[in-house]
Amino acid sequence: MKILWIATKAPWPPVDGGRRVCFDTLNALASAGHEVDLVAPVAGSSSAPAAELRELCRPHLVAIRPTPTIVDGCRAQLTGKPVTIVRHSHGRVRRRVARLLAGGRFDLIQVEQVQALSSVPGPAARLPPVVLRAQNVESDLWSQAARDGGWRRSVLALEARRLARWEGLAVRRSAATLTLTVQDAARLADLSGAADKISAVPAPFATELEAAAERLPGEPPIVLFGSAGWHPNARGADWFLQRAWPRVREALPGAALHVFGLSASAPGVVSHQAPTESRAAYPRGAILAVPLQIASGVRIKILEAWARGVPVVATPAAAQGLGAEDGQHLLLADDGEGFARAFARLDGEDDLAARLIAGGRRRLREHHEPSRVARRLAEIYAPLTRSFLAPDFDPHPEA
């Protein structure tokens, strides 16, 4: 099958969950014999694809110059479109996609995230089926952020409403929509009224990967990491440092919190720069803390912790969508005392970490094994490729 894949960012290096999902899915499809042309924007003047990416697909990385946020905000106000849609609308990317479509026959177009729909040519083009993969429900993330947005609450709430309408229209106007969780599939069905077009397909992930060999200081060492530019990560880290970490220190005075890629300063906290290779954030003997309060989609960092043999303590919001059970695959905690108890259990119960890691890896084998995911995707793609979409398909719904 020949697939034209449009993304909002290059999947290599896979330094965040979104890129990792994209890269691992491309790897799974390539291993199953599918041919993929990838189009993605990259900021700056250099657009040379990495060798790791060329092994999986034919990459077409388009150098773009991001516009200032205030300019995108004004454009959003004038057009009524969500700001995040405007920010990911790049004429150079759209023109590259149009040239590829004009130069060859593709069985389908896969659009990674609703924002990438802005790079699909308009209704004058006769397109192969367009499949949207929503790694999360964007409008829900904005809506949750609005609840604690302070003076920005009304702005965030407006963006959430615009995105909800946009997502509903995008699902209805695509040939099919993929989500990573059944919860997100149900939510997009509510927004679109098109449940028959939506399928939940887990993110592919390897069952076992190596952990970092060097053990970090601390008894036990606890790891917290994420992108500071992603609001849910920053909010979760702030909550953990203020509400949970003091309780953990009382229960485990020798514990050390190792924070990667986020700003943090408190007793017992060691700050590290964001790792250039994700393995560095999963050292042997450590425990991963995932204290998200705002979440949609799946936490790829939890899948990676299972694969690398690192036990996880997470909030219910962070674990949502994984089908993980407390005490079998990870430990759940929803307040500071809960995190302190969970870390103390892992520090004191000799076989608990091993049981959680074994359960997590079993979950990876049963639901995230890459070849299994590739087969499921092919089952969804196959019926769509028998016909083209109607010529009046419009990937640019008005919000």
CA–CA gap between residue 108 and residue 25 (Å, rounded):
16
- pLDDT score for 144: 84
Homologous superfamily (CATH) for 2-204+369-384: Glycogen Phosphorylase B; (3.40.50.2000)
CA–CA gap between residue 21 and residue 270 (Å, rounded):
29
Question: Is 229 in contact with 87 (CB distance < 8 Å)?
Answer: no
CA distances from 370 to 29, 32, 228, 247 (A): 9, 9, 29, 39
Whole-prediction pTM: 0.92
Do 2-204+369-384 and 221-367 have matching folds?
Answer: yes
| pLDDT, greater one: 139 or 77 | 139
- pLDDT score for 392: 44
Domain boundaries, the chain: 2-204+369-384, 221-367
pLDDT one-digit tens code per residue, 360-389: 999 999 999 999 999 999 999 999 987 544
Which two tokens mark 307?
């694969």
- pLDDT score for 394: 53
CA–CA gap between residue 312 and residue 38 (Å, rounded):
34
**What does CATH list as the number for 221-367?**
3.40.50.2000
Which two tokens mark 9?
């960012």
CA–CA gap between residue 48 and residue 170 (Å, rounded):
31
pLDDT one-digit tens code per residue, 118-160: 999 876 557 899 999 999 999 998 888 888 767 778 888 999 9
CA–CA gap between residue 397 and residue 399 (Å, rounded):
6
Average pLDDT over residues 382-398: 61
